[in-house]
Amino acid sequence: MLFSRFYLGEFAMVDSWKDKRISAMNRVIKRKGRSTLDYLDEYDSVCLSKCKNKTEYKLERKGQHEEVDTFNVIRNKLCV
């Protein structure tokens, strides 16, 4: 099953960055025979993102990963 994005009462002539990213994930899944589970986290992040473009989204994701990494580092230091 491939991912899709539904519009609720919203009609767009041009695909948004979210639609393009989801299409790119679907292409990789089809061409490389990968599982949709590999991209489930990113699909969820794209759909829930309030960013207006891909650049903002990348910065948002980078910030999320840095926070997680910082948390893991602190946790690992305290647990030792």
Tens-place pLDDT, residues 15-49: 789 999 999 999 999 999 988 888 888 898 898 88
Cα–Cα distance between 54 and 62 in angstroms, integer?
A: 12
Residue 45 lies in a domain: yes
Number of domains, the chain: 1
DSSP string, the chain: -------SS---SS--HHHHHHHHHHHHHHHHT--GGGGHHHHHHHHH---SSHHHHHHHHHHHHHHHHHHHHHHHHHH-
10 located within any domain: no
Does residue 1 belong to any structural domain of this protein? no
Q: Is 68 within a domain?
A: yes
Length of the chain, please? 80
Examine residue 11 and state whether it is found in any structural domain, yes or no. no
Range of the domain at 26: 17-79
pLDDT band at 65 (very low <50, low <70, confident <90, very high): low
Q: Report the predicted TM-score, pTM, of the whole model to 2 decimal places.
A: 0.62
